[in-house]
Amino acid sequence: MESILYHVQGFMYPNEVELQWSILIVLYPFITGLVAGAFILASLERVFNVEAVKPTYRLALLTALSFMLVAPLPLQLHLGHPERSLEMYLTPHTSSAMAMFGFVYLWYLMVVLVLEIWLDYRKDIVLLARSTTGWTQKLYRAMALWSDNISERSLEIDDKVGRFITI
């Protein structure tokens, strides 16, 4: 390696000799690709009414959420001081691609994915709240936002709002 580098001396910076990408950096786009793939699979049923993937719809949404929650972990582990990543949320700089991507990522996670999953599972959550007692009932009622309306009209509105969010 040293004999090869002798011929290129002066043409590159010392930090360009070796790529600094570790497996953690490569893992991040892989996991975000899994998120995108699962969400596209869910969108095929929701937006385009592809019947062949209908049985996988709810599982695809949960898979997208699960991988989305752990996708930033490889980047956090790669950083020297992962606790500093909160700085981009507390003191954002609009010209920083990382800060803006963090806001987009957080918005997508919270607004699109969590809300769509909540709308799809709301009926199940309400039924669980009705069938349990004690602190589990309180937990399920809180997850349902203290609403126990699962009428046909209510579920129809949930479906329309979920479809709008997906699009």
pLDDT, one tens digit per residue, over 47-72 is 888 899 999 999 999 999 899 888 88
pLDDT in tens, 110-142: 788 888 889 999 999 999 999 999 999 999 999
pLDDT for res 14 = 61
pLDDT for res 126 = 94
For residue 141, give the H/E element and its range.
Answer: helix 134-143
* Mean pLDDT rounded to a whole number for the chain: 83
Q: Where are the alpha helices (DSSP H) in the chain?
A: 2-7, 23-46, 57-70, 73-78, 87-90, 97-107, 115-131, 134-143, 152-166
pLDDT at residue 86 is higher than 90: no
Is there a contact between 64 and 35 (Cβ–Cβ < 8 Å)?
yes
Distance CA 158, CA 59 (A): 18
pLDDT for res 152 = 93
pLDDT at residue 5 is higher than 80: no
